[in-house]
């Protein structure tokens, strides 16, 4: 997997958990119920990009 940078906009995230379902090992919900990318994700780049596209509020950004 190529190295990608995953960013979650904390102000936009609603904590739906879609990213966790689509890219297990890529995200977690923090103590405030907001998604946070894992520092060393085990999710594939394809799964991470699927989570990015599927976020209901477009809070996830992935860059190479």
Handedness of CA 22, 48, 51, 10 (dihedral sign): positive
Count structural domains, the chain: 1
Residues facing 61 on adjacent strands: 7
CATH code for the domain of 37: 3.30.70.20
Overall pTM > 0.85: yes
Residue 47: domain span: 5-63
Judge whether 54 and 46 are in contact, CB under 8 Å: no
N-to-C CA span, the chain = 11
Confidence of residue 23 (pLDDT cuts 50, 70, 90): very high
Which secondary-structure segment (H or E) carries 18?
Answer: helix 18-22
Distance CA 32, CA 62 (A): 22
pLDDT of amino acid 16: 97
């Amino acid at each position: 997997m190529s190295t990608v940078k995953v960013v979650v906009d904390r102000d936009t995230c609603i904590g739906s958990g879609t990213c966790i379902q689509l890219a297990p090992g890529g995200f977690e919900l923090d103590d405030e119920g907001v998604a946070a990318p894992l520092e060393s994700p085990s999710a594939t780049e394809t799964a991470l990009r699927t989570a990015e596209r599927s976020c209901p509020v477009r809070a996830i950004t992935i860059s190479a």
